[in-house]
Structure 1
Amino acid sequence: MAMDATRTTLSPSAAAEAVLAFVNTRAIDGSREQLGDGVSFAQWLGQEGLVGPGSLVTDADAAAARELRDALVLVLLAHAGEEDGEGRAGAEEHLRRSAQLYPLAPVITATGVQLLPTGGGVPGALATVLAAASDVALRGAWMRLKACRNPPCHLGFYDRSRNSSAAYCSPNRCGAQVAMRTYRTRKAQEDGR
């Protein structure tokens, strides 16, 4: 993940895809929780190439990963316009603590700079997620990484709209659900008068 502050594009970088892959490990629309325990987290880490076969991954590691993921989801919800000041502040503080727990080191070459984990195993894998988030931010695309504002969904997505105004992962699915809930609530209030 080269750190190169280039112009924002409407297509996600590999780093953005990596952050979204991590954020979207939650059980959404009938999918299974991929960070539910050490075994499922180890499977996900192996699929993503973040740890080698036989790496020790515990239930405590899975819990730490879920906490990191939840903090990222709250920040991505803020990118989508969801206002939760206390929740967001707590998430940002958790991300600061995570940066201390899962440190990165700059690796400078003639062709660029990369942030790489200083360790391996699960801490190195979680540091890789933080490195990917840093890469996205340095590319100027951090605000395009969002979480769907539809409460049951919160799926992470890359906002490809020209003006970066998307708030839902799918306007036809989640956007329509929110509009219908808003309409029904307004209609019930009008009928109650």
Structure 2
Amino acid sequence: MRRYRLPGVLCVCVLLLASLAACQRGEPRAAGTAASENPLTPTGYGLTFLGVNECSARGSEHREVPCTSEKAAARVLARYDGTPPDTSPCPPTTDFVLHISERRPSLDENGDGAVPRGYACMRNLEPPHPGDPGMGGGPHTIVGDCVYSSRKGEVKETACDGSGPKAPQFKVASAVATRSQCPPSTALYVQLGGEKPVGCARRV
């Protein structure tokens, strides 16, 4: 317990259950303020299994580790319970989606020994970033990505620089709300997502 002396007022501030009770003339501070002010700050290793801004290690198990650890490989951009819908709600530049099976680690959200099934939108701490435009990966196809025709009526993403297993045939030049808004030079319409679900692709 520390004592802080203010002009004319003696306050005693007590740290209780990770909440800082403000003195009479101090400003209240919301829990998690530090993490919201700096999105690169881990939100509290162990408080939530792979919560937003926390990091996972390399390997098939994707263990949670402090983001400052040399073992840290990817950061959580968003975290959801349940199973992913057909249209992923992950941020556009997500590198990969980590599916979290129900498990019983030594540390979990509420101490009951269980972590609910869910999924996390992950971004690598270092390159490569397959979710970036033109890199040929990630859960989303976005403006700047390249695709090739895999079969009739279906296209798949590939690296624009030709480094992937398939050469690029089309590049998504813009995203619009309806097909009629694509420019005349459009050679292919690509289903994207979000508020502008139509990708206007040109030949490469």
TM-score normalised by the chain length of structure 1: 0.21
TM-score normalised by the chain length of structure 2: 0.20
* Higher RCO (CA-CA < 8 Å; seq separation 6+): 1
Instruction: Report the structure number with the largest CA radius of gyration.
Output: 2
